[in-house]
Chain A
């Protein structure tokens, strides 16, 4: 289907741009729609809604932020650390405004695995179910998050 400049402009926002070095799709060859439906299937399998998941991520983010750079434990064996960054980043979906920068890195102690959360990535999950493409720093893999949630025993 031919796209209007509105839509092809949108696609430009998802590739590496002035605001995102890696872009939102990384080296994932799937379309945005395919990424969203694949990730939402994982949520469905575990019977959790995207808004609820985003709410949990937001609470971890806020707790890490309040610790002002120190490590906080959000689940047994999982810590979160906030790294400040100056500025705001716009949502790649036009018309959604800008979001505060600042990474929260979730770290699973035994495996060393890390997941990075930002205000924007949480918003993309809550509003669109978009967990971002593979191969770039800010993808939030729902399977990893659900793993962590299971450890805390909360939803």
Chain B
């Protein structure tokens, strides 16, 4: 596969970041990574923490997966192993961030708990790595794409949790509390983000 075709100018990297975060928002435009959102978005502070963790993982794994794919899998004709390789790498990156979080903020580590290892199977992260393969990006651009995708997810979950915190769930029909209203919020926000579509074509 041919490598980078686009120019490496700062503008293009910036545009890639912005489009991955907004016009192609991995949660609101592509609908990936919703399970963690449904589970954790009831509080802003835990959402911020999880969002930061996810952004770290998407950036690091996009870069690592780019390297492994183009410098190991392709030369060895093992492209068909990309799914399993990416997952293994993501799992390792998540383990690393769990350790860092335990050291740095035990409160957050405990409150996020099971959702940290669940980042491994968060389809948003695998999705970003796989989408990256379809694009003619170089390394820096891949980095921007990964960071932008993660940042977009972070932005989305923070906004959703802000909205949820302000909603008085006792006023809802009882069946809608929790996941029900969250899905509705995600849907309405996705509609809003449709407004971004077509702004940047990458």
Choose one: A2, A5, A6; the contact of B118 (CB below 8 Å): A2
Spot the interface stretch: B16-24, B108-116, B187-195: B108-116
A3, CB-defined interface residue at 8 Å: yes
Q: Which residues does chain A contribute within 8 Å of B67, judged by CB atoms?
A: none
B115 partner residues in chain A, CB cutoff 8 A: 2, 4
CB pair A1–B178 under 8 Å, yes or no, is yes
A6 surroundings in chain B (CB, below 8 A): 110-111, 113
A155 to chain B, nearest CB (A): 26
B39 at the interface (CB under 8 A from A): yes
Contact check, A2 vs B114: say whether CB atoms are below 8 A apart.
yes
Within 8 A of A (CB), among B67-116: 110-115
Query: Is B179 an interface residue, CB under 8 A from the partner?
Result: yes
Could you tell me which residues of chain A, from 1 to 22, have a CB within 8 Å of some CB in chain B?
Answer: 1-6
CB closest chain-A residue, reference B174? A37
Contact with A along B162-195 (1 / 0, CB 8 A): 0000000000000000110000000000000000
How far, in whole Å, are A1 and B112 apart by their CA atoms in the complex? 14
- The CA of A155 and the CA of B145, in the complex, are separated in Å by 66
Query: By the criterion CB–CB under 8 Å, are B179 and A5 in contact?
Result: no
Residue of A nearest to B178 (CB): A1
How far is the CB of A33 from the nearest CB of chain B, in Å? 11
Instruction: Let me know if B112 and A4 touch, CB within 8 A.
Output: yes
**Most A Cβ at <10 Å: residue of B39, B111, B112, B113:** B113
Chain B nearest CB, measured from A154 CB (Å): 31
Q: How long is the Cα–Cα vector from A1 to B36 in the complex, in angstroms?
A: 11
Closest approach, in angstroms, between the C-beta of A142 and any C-beta of chain B? 21
A128 to chain B, nearest CB (A): 15
| Minimum C-beta distance from B94 to chain A (A) | 16
In the complex the two chains form, what is the Cα distance from A2 to B178 in whole Å? 13
Write the nearest CB–CB distance from A23 to chain B, whole angstroms: 23
Do A1 and B39 touch across chains, with their CB atoms under 8 A apart? Answer: yes
Q: Once the chains bind, are B179 and A3 in contact (CB under 8 Å)?
A: no
Residues of B close to A4: CB separation below 8 A: 39-40, 111-115
22 residue pairs bridging A and B, Cβ less than 8 Å apart: A1-B38, A1-B39, A1-B178, A1-B179, A2-B39, A2-B114, A2-B115, A2-B118, A3-B114, A4-B39, A4-B40, A4-B111, A4-B112, A4-B113, A4-B114, A4-B115, A5-B110, A5-B113, A5-B114, A6-B110, A6-B111, A6-B113
Q: B residues within 8 Å of A by Cβ?
A: 38-40, 110-115, 118, 178-179
**Can you list the 8 inter-chain pairs with the closest CB atoms, starting with the nearest?**
A5-B113, A4-B113, A4-B114, A2-B39, A2-B114, A6-B111, A5-B114, A6-B113
Starting from the known contacts A1-B178, A4-B112, A4-B113, 12 additional A-B residue pairs (CB-CB under 8 Å) come to A1-B39, A1-B179, A2-B118, A3-B114, A4-B39, A4-B111, A5-B110, A5-B113, A5-B114, A6-B110, A6-B111, A6-B113
